[in-house]
Structure 1
């Protein structure tokens, strides 16, 4: 509770040993508070926090055996890279000779073997992030907590560090909990994703299941793009019956766009086809996105750019078609 406001409500979450779990949500969803509860920086008003079956709700953060990586990295600016890595080992009473061995080994592992004598201010953002990650791992904690770990990096560096994080997780096997608002990051890194909204868990599942079978309209819209076909101006056909309290949804990349001609006889039983007018076309490097007006709806279509592909312009009449099996139903 923050005054009369509950930052998280009825939060019940089990994290499996060795998994990479990401807590995903927009600003104000409660994801950071959930991580702070796990880290021991915030105490729950009620309920408990168990690690390895033991209650740690009353245990301060510095007494918990965990590694933490903050978005700001929180490196000691007056210490060299080597001394930053030595610090958590020194606090645990590790002898100097062993500290030196562990530090050199970790520096090599994060590709910073030649940077041990530098100060944090002499490093790039990506290098500082590697130092912070190495410091969180060097004491071999059973749990690793990541708070927006790649948020301060540019896109190319984020993609590089996503690969590095996946590699380190596979190598060290740490139970890892990551908080982010970046959907791509969550999909790339996670074994499971927890989507939060207004202090509560909206849905928890694997990345594939969350993206392909979102339970609610919120999850469908937050995790990627979604065409919500609520009163679209045409009859939506599906292989399954629509459950009560749901609306149809289809992902933009599941829709094919082409010239306005009829489907072949062999496709009629599997696909649905509608005709519309291109409202806008957006070129985004490897992808091309169309906004197509069909009846009272504006549908988004996303296709990978390929040579010889027909390009449609605003005002062109096109046919959209999709597999009926690609329609999903999400709770409103």
Structure 2
């Protein structure tokens, strides 16, 4: 708690050995507080924290033997890259010869073999991130904590570093807990994702399960886009009655857009359709996104760009088709 404010409530979570677990959520969801509790920077007002069956709730951060990477990298600006990497080894009393060998090995692994003599200010953002990762891993800690590790990088560097982090995790097999608000980053890196909202866990599952089978409308909207299907669009009342208290939704890429008179596919008996009007078309390189007004609802359609594909413009009347099996029912 922070004064009268409860940052996380009833947080019960088990991290499996060797997995990459991401805590995902918007600002104020409690994700950073959860990581700070695990790191030992703050103490829980109640409950316990166990690592390998041992309580560490009262153990200070510097005695938890964890590697931590911050969004700001937190490199020592007055020390060279090599000295930054040696520091955690010195704190553990490791001999100079072994320190040198470990530093050489980790520098080569993160593709910075010739950068040991440079100062942090002489490195690019991506290179600084690699040094921060190397420093967190060099002492072979049982747990690696990542706090918005790629938030300071531009898109291209972020995608490159996602691959690097995934490769390092696979190589070292280290139990990793990452905090981020970036959905794509969470989906790319994680074995499991914890979605938090208002200090509580909304859902925990694999990236594919969370995206394809969200439990709540919040999860559906936070991990992508969700089209709500009103009664005017979705008429199968038998399906609705089996999911009382829920709303029907479908992902934009599951909708097919065509002219109203287009030939239906062979599984037409498994499909639903609706007629609507295009209100907007957004071209985004490999994708086109359409906004289609159907009744009182605005639906989003996302399709991959392909040669010979018909392109619709605002004002065009279109038909939307979807498989009944692609509809998901979520709690509001």
TM score, norm. by length of structure 1: 0.98
| 2:290 counterpart residue number | 290
**CA–CA distance in 2 between the matches of 1:154 and 1:306?**
28
CA distance in 1, matches of 2:121, 2:269: 63
- Deviations along 1:1-44, one digit per CA (max 9) or x if unpaired, are 00101000000000000000000000000000000000000100
Tell me by how many angstroms 1:243 deviates. 1.1
Deviation of 1:68 (Å): 0.2
8 A contact 1:238–1:327 mirrored in 2: no
Taking only aligned residues, the RMSD between alpha carbons, in angstroms, comes to 1.2
TM-score, length-scaled by structure 2: 0.98
Q: Which residue of 1 aligns with 2:325?
A: 325
Cα deviation code 1:54-112 (max 9, x no counterpart): 00000000000110000000000000000000000000000000000000100000000
Partner of 1:17: 17
* Structure 2 equivalent of residue 188 of structure 1: 188
The 2-side partners of 1:238 and 1:189 are apart by: 39
| Alignment-derived partner of residue 73 in structure 2 | 73
The CA distance in 1 between the partners of 2:44 and 2:228, in whole Å, is 37
The offset of 1:265, in angstroms, is 7.4
* Structure 1: runs of 5 or more not aligned: none
Q: 1:308 to 1:238 in 2, by over 3 A?
A: farther
Match of 1:158 in 2: 158
Asked if 1:303 corresponds to 2:269, the answer is no
Deviation larger for 49-58 or 265-274: 265-274
Aligned to 2:308, the other structure's residue is in SS state coil
Per-residue deviation, residues 291-328 of structure 1 (Å, max 9, x unmatched) = 00011110000001111111000000111101110000
Structure 2 regions of 5+ residues with no counterpart? none
Paired with 2:79 and 2:220, the residues of 1 have a C-alpha distance of 46
1:113 aligns with 2:122: no
Q: Deviations over 1:159-213 (max 9, x none)?
A: 0000001100000000000000000000000000000000000000000000000
Distance in 2 separating the partners of 1:104 and 1:307: 50
- Supply the distance in 2 between the matched residues of 1:217 and 1:313 (Cα, whole angstroms): 30
Q: Is the 8 A contact 2:24 2:181 kept in 1?
A: yes
Determine the C-alpha separation between the residues in 2 that align with 1:234 and 1:308.
Answer: 29
Deviation (angstroms), 1:215: 0.2
Alignment of 1:236-315 (within 5 A): 236-237=235-236, 240-241=239-240, 242-261=242-261, 263-264=263-264, 266-315=266-315
Contact persistence 1:40–1:59 (CA under 8 A): yes
Equivalent residue, structure 1, for 2:41: 41
- Between the two proteins, the alignment pairs up a number of residues equal to 331
237 and 158 in structure 1: CA distance in 2 versus 1, 3 angstrom threshold: farther
